[in-house]
A and B are shown apart, each in its own frame.
Chain A
Amino acid sequence: MTQETILIGLAGVLASAAPVIFAVLGETLSERAGVINLSMNGTILLSAMGGFAAAYNTDNIVLGFLAGMLIGALVALVVAFASITLKQSQVAVGFVLALTCRDLSYFLGNPYMGEPGPRLQAAPIPVLGEIPILGQLFFRQDAITYLSFISIFLAWLWIFRTRPGLMLQGIGEKPAAAFIRGANVNLMRYVYTVIGGALIGLAGPAYSLAIRAGWMGTISGLDGIGWIALSITIFGGWNPSRAAFGAYLFAFLQWLGLVLQPVFTQVPSQVLQVAPFPLMILTLLLVNIGNAEWVERTLAAMPETTRKILSKALRAMRASPPSALGVPFESE
């Protein structure tokens, strides 16, 4: 393999991770506020179909992306209404929506099956795109991939560096404590669930108008991505940068499976196709190793200075779900 093919491959990894990034960031925002949007898998399919249909009919690719976001926001609104206002189980509502939206996309998408449609073109950035290696990796992508880079940073900045972001953490952690600090807990939960839903809805068109342009119904290969994104959100510890790492890892392992297939001809191709899933889970488990009690024990036996540094690093890596995840809030 030449350096050139590897670079092209890796640039492809960054691009193909973009939809997963949007989905994971959307889910992270929603869950940080305390609402699990389990409809993600169906939302991605429905917004992929809807986004493609909108762009196909209007011949406007931007409208296609906006349509996807709108679909995502509407589905999230249903989840929010059922869980925040009606105080119903988020898991049950989300799961039913996941199945409904998936079947709806196959049914409504029939007229668009296999139709050629608009596709987002690469937009290399002048000057930056000419930098060796880095330019090829990061700056010769399409607009939606650039947006995925920016979104990771913005989401991280919002959650950990801004005042409202701090309150967002509080709302998902202990709504009663956020309430006495002046937060309108239920309104904020609505807002973040809907914004998160819009981001998840962006993932669909990112497939159907860019990476895997077109609508292919059941053989689009999009079914299941939402569940993967859900697990990346969890293993990513509800942190945008770590969740992004998970998304890239997943895309990278998938690419590796494709590349290695001709090399390891004696290995059944199915093994390489499925390998990314358990491999990713394993890696992410290792990232969360600081949670384990035996690690704490081992640390306790170490000399003071090493222990301090290591435990600080592990603590920074440690993730726990927002304590009020899935729990309705009532102020008295």
Chain B
Amino acid sequence: MNIELKNIHKHFGKVHANKNINLAIPSGTIQGILGENGAGKSTLMKILSGFIQADAGGEIILDGKPVIIHSPADAIHHGVGMLHQDPLDFPPMRVLDNFLLGRSGGLFPNRTTVARDFKLLAEQFDFSLDPDSYVDSLTVGERQQLEIIRLLWLGARILILDEPTTGISASQKTKLFATLKKLAEQGMTIIFVSHKLEDVEHLCHQAAVLRAGELVGEIKTPYVTSKLVEMMFGKEITLGERQPAQAGEVVLSFTNISLEDVRLKIKNVDLQVRAGEVIGLAGMEGSGQGMFIRACAGLTRPVGGRVQLNGQDLTGKSYHTYKHAGVNFLPAARLEEGLVPGLNLTDHFVLAEEPKGVFIDRAAGQKLAEDRIQSFNIRGTPLSTVESLSGGNQQRAELALLQSPLSLVLLEHPTRGLDIESVIYIWGKLKERCRQGASIIFISSDLEEILQYSDRLLVFFSGKVSQPIDAAATSVEELGQLIGGKGWANMGDEHA
């Protein structure tokens, strides 16, 4: 289906979120929409998918006919389906019920025919989804697959994907890209919204770049990366040189540590982390790295082995003992585990300080918040609630909350969902900590991030843990193979 957007404006109060956007996407195209966080990508997609309406004067033209899209359900009638960044599905319900929910028809849906349609569609794209399993047992990638075939079943001719590669594994990404290419060949129009340059370069036939609400440029493949970056940020940005650590004393030492939970067992890991060192944990989601980092934080109790921090034996001690010993953990779910929704930044900084007496010194708290907001470049005020901040600013706030001095910082997906400028900023702050003598252990599914910022890395594969690997001597390809379970034989893996 051909799409034409004409004179699209959108105001939210004083904020001009979309400024006069004109864009034409021919049928069968994979169109990338690039821009940093807050550039107006989401607003534009919400207009196209019926969540909000453009200001008067804007036009959406589908296959030559101007249409008015009143609601998301109306959008699907026009053939516009959207895949949201956080899947809008029903986790406690079965896959088939999710698939079927929202399709009109008789009072009693015929599950047999629905299951047949489901199976046909799933097979067509080589998705292995069990219609009888529950959605909460699926990975984010599988939930996307479910949503894709659901939208196709409803007759979508245009598919909008909002940051679809966030939170899915490398192999699922490959499959997603293959699916999208296949759909485009069949004449579907795909709109791929992302802040990840390499994804857009890899997949999209053409890309449009948004900055501060404006469409600043359109490029066709092949792309020049530096030019895309310049359009996105208005300036050139590079990751910079790797900064190897000046390793100091041993901070954390794991001796013969074994961990287990319901699904996984990790056996006999030895690891010594030195001051100033950054250790990256790589692996497909759920391969044991989450359990490992929680063991480092004292949240998961090892079933065997010894943990020492700065020479002090912490085996079996509580999270609070770890925290007093200078271990801080920033989990992936920022709003669930890291910050307190409903409280503002001042409250957070007051809470994070060592308590002095019962009553809160508001003035001092306010001043502290102002200082931190400035030094961490957080876009917000001392009175902004944390949920009103963008993802990048939430992460900055979390970093600003870290106690000091620290001996060990643990991070789970520290830059997931953030644009490259924020990524560079956050790692700058983290490396500053390292120079002050802290060590860092972090999980990331972004292989380039792991190789760029860690000194050594551990690879996890279904509970197996590799020996520490020198990051400088490893390529993305080698790391990708290890994560996928290849090449473990010559790793000398006595842990298997």
Q: Which residues of A contact B (CB under 8 A)?
A: 161-164, 166-167, 169-170, 173-174, 176-183, 293, 296-297, 299-300, 315, 320, 323, 331-332
Contact = CB atoms under 8 A, between A and B. Distances in A.
Nearest to A179: B72
B270 interface: no
Give the most central of A181, A296, A331, A332: most B CB within 10 Å.
Answer: A181
B263 A300 contact: yes
B57 to A, nearest CB: 20
Given A181-B102, A182-B102, A170 B90 contact: yes
B262 interface: yes
B90 A169 contact: yes
A297 B82 CA distance: 39
Given A169-B93, A170-B101, A182-B102, A163 B73 contact: no
B107 A332 contact: no
A166 B72 contact: no
B106 interface: yes
B487 interface: no
Given A180-B72, A181-B73, A315-B134, A163 B106 contact: yes
Interface of B: 46, 51-52, 71-73, 76, 82, 88-93, 97, 100-102, 104-109, 134, 262-263
A320 B109 contact: no
Contact of A163 (B51, B90, B107, B262): B107
Nearest to A321: B92
Contact of A177 (B89, B104, B105): B89
A174 B88 CA distance: 8
B62 to A, nearest CB: 18
B262 A166 contact: no
A329 B262 CA distance: 36
Given A163-B108, A163-B109, A296 B262 contact: yes
Contact of B109 (A166, A174, A300): A166
B101 A167 contact: yes
A163 B263 contact: no
Contacts of A162: 107-109
Contacts of A164: 107
B51 A167 contact: no
A296 B107 CA distance: 37
A242 to B, nearest CB: 15
B262 A177 contact: no
A325 to B, nearest CB: 12
Give the most central of B46, B88, B100, B101: most A CB within 10 Å.
Answer: B101
B262 A182 contact: no
Contacts of A323: 91-92
B97 to A, nearest CB: 6
A239 to B, nearest CB: 12
Nearest to A318: B92
Contacts of A183: 102
A315 B109 CA distance: 24
Contacts of B76: 182
Given A174-B88, A315-B134, A181 B101 contact: yes
A74 B20 CA distance: 50
Given A161-B108, A167-B101, A170-B101, A177 B90 contact: yes
A38 B88 CA distance: 29
9 contacts: A162-B107, A167-B101, A170-B90, A170-B101, A173-B90, A173-B91, A179-B71, A180-B73, A297-B262
Contacts of B88: 174, 176-177, 180
Nearest to A299: B262
Contacts of B46: 332
Contacts of B108: 161-163
A256 B88 CA distance: 48
A331 B46 CA distance: 12
Contacts of A177: 88-90
B472 to A, nearest CB: 39
Given A178-B101, A179-B72, 11 more contacts: A162-B108, A167-B102, A169-B93, A170-B102, A173-B92, A174-B90, A181-B102, A182-B72, A293-B262, A323-B91, A332-B52
A183 B74 CA distance: 11
Contacts of B102: 167, 170, 178, 180-183
Nearest to B74: A182
Contacts of A300: 262-263
Contacts of A173: 90-93
A316 to B, nearest CB: 10
Contacts of B90: 169-170, 173-174, 177
Contacts of A331: 51, 71
Contacts of A176: 88
Nearest to A166: B101
A174 to B, nearest CB: 6
Give the most central of A162, A163, A173, A296: most B CB within 10 Å.
Answer: A163
A237 to B, nearest CB: 11
Nearest to B132: A312
Contacts of A174: 88-91
A140 to B, nearest CB: 33
A179 B74 CA distance: 11
B481 to A, nearest CB: 30
A315 B289 CA distance: 26
A158 B92 CA distance: 18
Contacts of A297: 262
B263 A166 contact: no
Nearest to B111: A161
A153 to B, nearest CB: 14
Given A173-B90, A297-B262, A166 B100 contact: yes
A315 B51 CA distance: 35
A170 B100 CA distance: 11
Contacts of A296: 262
B261 to A, nearest CB: 8
A177 B313 CA distance: 49
B25 to A, nearest CB: 22
By Cβ-Cβ distance, the 10 closest A-B pairs, closest first, are A181-B102, A182-B73, A180-B72, A177-B88, A173-B90, A300-B262, A296-B262, A166-B101, A162-B107, A163-B109
